[in-house]
Structure 1
Amino acid sequence: MGSANMARSSASELLQQKYFHDVEEMIASRLHAETESDAGRRELVRSTGIKDQRLIQELVDLGITSEGLIALRLLPLVMVAWAENRVDPKEHASIMEIAGQVGITDSSVAYILLERWLQHLPPAETVDAWKRLMHETTQTMSPQACKKLIHRMEVQMTQVAKSTGGIFGLGKVSKKEQQMIDGLLVALKNQLPQK
């Protein structure tokens, strides 16, 4: 009886995995179709003010729409969650809590992108697109606003890292997480305008 239950459970898990894979493929196709259309590109340019056509093309290639850009701004949180080669459920919950605080709802494109990135490590091109987006974004910001952006990002990344409680559950940031945080902060600072 035990092996029959295990077989049913295993078959059920396989069906669930196939379902989620199919849904993910459908969402990815929809996102790519939206961004690859001329109207989608125009909306991306209009809503962001980005003039860098190479960056627009990178965003299109990654399936990031104008609605999904807010998810790209939260990419450092995702990368901190992946610092130890897997996303802990508490890290996932922490990121989604922050996402909710910035207005990302569970039916939005940004939410779908975040969920996708929390299931599968984003490709390096996504990090490159984030860096370029931050460079474009900060060009018109005052030095004080840039400092606030860096501080807020550091606080959010640390919140995600501490959500798992460190190695002994004491709310500590692991060495790998701290290295990721430090690396992302350096990358962000390198994107700031030289004033």
Structure 2
Amino acid sequence: MSSDFLKERKKSLEDEFFHKQNQKNLDALREKLATQTSKDALRKASGMTDDAVLDKLVSLGIGAETVMALSLVPLIQVAWADGKIQRNERDAILQGAEKKGIDKDSNAYALLEAWLDNKPQDSLFGAWSAYIAALGGKLTRKEAEQLESQVLRFARYVAESAGGFLGIGKISDAEEEVLAQLQTTFAKVTSQAGQDSDKSDDSDDAGDTEAAADADDDADDDDER
């Protein structure tokens, strides 16, 4: 998977995620987030807690604006699974997100609020899925599984929390369907994971084999002499 292809998918996801009303304020927020690349900044932007996942994202040069979209889009999809969000459900989702590490005064919380007030177009999830698929080529299988665990656990936790706050105590069938769709997307990521490193390993192996063959040839020449 080329770096240019990954960058294109990254930009598409960010464009969809930050394309909302009051564009001037969102552009300012996006510009601010683009400069935040530390592990702590990514943690605050996404609610992710796994150090290995965060370290990998930092090593890939992925900033807070991308990680925020990476983490929140699945939650937003689950929240809108029933086609509408009641006021008390919205508040319950925000409470769940806060308990999971999204601070109430953070940029991530503010953007989540905005998306809970405005149902996203299908293109947002499409852009997220395309970026996740492209990212898979940059991850090992273990890293892909860790990322899946962080993202889906977050979405499920908040959905379950909202059900508890509302006295339902469970996730709806529509929400389960969206979670299953997310798992299917990640299954593709896992299948692609490590392909770039595998190619690199194959190249290294080929180089080692060629070097070994050259060494053998040199040894044969010495014997003949």
TM-score normalized by the length of structure 1: 0.59
Offset of residue 175 of structure 1: 0.8
- Distance in 1 (CA, whole Å) between partners of 2:168 and 2:104 is 31
- Distance in 1 (CA, whole Å) between partners of 2:147 and 2:24 is 33
Amino acid paired to 2:126: D
Amino acid paired to 1:144: K
- The 5 Å alignment of 1:105-184 reads 106-108=105-107, 110-165=108-163, 169=167, 171-184=169-182
Computing the radius of gyration over CA atoms, which structure comes out larger, 1 or 2?
Answer: 2
Q: Residue 67 of structure 2 corresponds to which residue in structure 1?
A: 70
Counterpart among 92, 95, 110 of residue 94 in structure 2: 92
Q: Is the 8 A contact 1:94 1:163 kept in 2?
A: yes
Tell me the alpha carbon deviations over residues 26-70 of structure 1, each in whole angstroms, 9 at most, x when there is no partner: 3x22434787xxxx6xx96xx6xxxxxxxxxxxxxxxxxx54322
Amino acid paired to 2:120: P
Q: Residue 29 of structure 1 corresponds to which residue in structure 2?
A: 24
Q: Is the 8 A contact 1:83 1:177 kept in 2?
A: yes
Q: Is the 8 A contact 1:81 1:92 kept in 2?
A: no
Q: Is the 8 A contact 2:74 2:152 kept in 1?
A: no
The count of residues paired between Structure 1 and Structure 2 equals 142
- Distance in 2 (CA, whole Å) between partners of 1:96 and 1:114 is 11
Tell me the alpha carbon deviations over residues 63-97 of structure 1, each in whole angstroms, 9 at most, x when there is no partner: xxx54322211210111111122331212221243
Q: Is the 8 A contact 1:91 1:163 kept in 2?
A: yes
Q: Is the 8 A contact 1:80 1:160 kept in 2?
A: no
TM-score normalized by the length of structure 2: 0.52
Offset of residue 143 of structure 1: 0.5
- Distance in 1 (CA, whole Å) between partners of 2:125 and 2:133 is 12
Structure 1 residues without counterparts, runs of 5 or longer: 1-23, 48-65
Q: Is the 8 A contact 2:96 2:162 kept in 1?
A: no
